[in-house]
Structure 1
Amino acid sequence: MRDGTGEDRRWLRAAIELSRLSPPSPSHYAVGAVVVDRHGVPLATGYTGETDPSYHAEEAALAKLAAREDLDLVGATLYTSMEPCTARRSRPDPCTGLLLAAGVARVVLALREPLLFADCDGVATLRQGGVDVVEIGDLGDLVIEINAHLLSRCRS
């Protein structure tokens, strides 16, 4: 696990703050995501349930970029409050597959997905696909706090 740069921490905090906009639900985590190009320019944001109740944060952010045919995500970084999924019931494509297909070079996250809804191995899947994954675990407590309504079930 690496600490990331000051810029990484700033963008990851922005993703965590976005997750607070996610409609509360007993069936999904509140997650936020920010896509930043290789020059540090933000391209899109998303949060769980933003445009569709079944959309994950990463999916919502990438969907906003889909219409931009000239967009080059080579060297782009996705900041997400929680590890991108590798399995899901609500949609055909997991977020890791969407990120690999989009060509995102880096993913920075605060918390690995707890074992509540699915057995996720997003970090390993992304790394196997050539994505540089950075975990900034000391920000994970913020994500746990935002998702306390779900994560308290894991501890009981």
Structure 2
Amino acid sequence: MSTPGHDQVLAACKEGALLPGRDDGALLEQAIALSRHCPPSRTAYSVGAVLVAADGSVLSTGYSRQDGSPVHAEEAALRALPPGAELRTATLYCSLEPCSERASAPRPCAELIVSAGVGRVVVGWREPELFVARCRGLEQLRDAGVAVEELPAYADLARRSNGHLPLGRPATGPPGEGGPA
């Protein structure tokens, strides 16, 4: 499901309107802007992702729950890729660390990113211990040979899209009832 806000951000990404140049911070801000379009869920983070080719062109974008399902942002961006996209030299910008464990699908995002062959991932915020005791998404990516950059100066901006969550205290219960999505 696409929203007018998402369409505007996507159009700006493709036209380069939000890009003062191929700058990791500016591209991460685009991912964070997409996270603001996520339908809030008390059992999941709001995350945005922008997948960019080596030449700086936007290959695809995604955000959590964009189609009404429990789809994660990284998964949505990978699904939206054009056929034949070169991912070894591409960079995936994520507002939040890709998940290393997942209750709503058989494969976590870190595994999907590695399987797709994405060469580099840039994140703004490490996943807090709300749904998973210790997310290891960045470690799993690094262990698989993916270049990983963390831009912690963007963590607060990414966190703001998640004001609907009780950050600081763990949720309990099965998915949909206080557990992770």
Instruction: State TM-score, norm by structure 2.
Output: 0.78
Identity of aligned residues (%): 46
Distance 1:41 1:47 in 2: 18
Aligned positions, number: 149
2:86 is aligned with 1:72? yes
Cα contact 2:130–2:167 (8 A) shared by 1: no
Alignment root-mean-square deviation, CA: 1.7
Aligned to 1:130: 145
Match of 1:7 among 14, 23, 29: 23
Match of 2:66 in 1: 50
Q: Write 1 or 2 for the structure with the bigger share of helix.
A: 1
Unaligned runs of 5+ in 1: none
TM-fit CA distance, 1:151: 4.0
Aligned residue number for residue 33 of structure 2: 17
Whole-Å separation in 2 of the counterparts to 1:64 and 1:146: 22
Runs (4+) of structure 1 moved beyond 3 Å? Answer: none
Q: Does 1:112 align with 2:106?
A: no
Structure 2 unaligned runs (5+)? Answer: 1-20, 171-181
> Would the alpha carbon gap of residues 141 and 6 (structure 1) be closer, same or farther in structure 2, given more than 3 Å must change?
farther
TM-score, normalised relative to structure 1: 0.90
Match of 1:41 in 2: 57
Structure 2 distance, partners of 1:73, 1:143, is 25
Distance verdict in 2 for CA 1:6–1:72, change over 3 Å: closer
The answer to whether the 8 Å contact 2:59/2:85 transfers is: no
Equivalent-residue separation in structure 2 for 1:101 and 1:41 (angstroms): 22
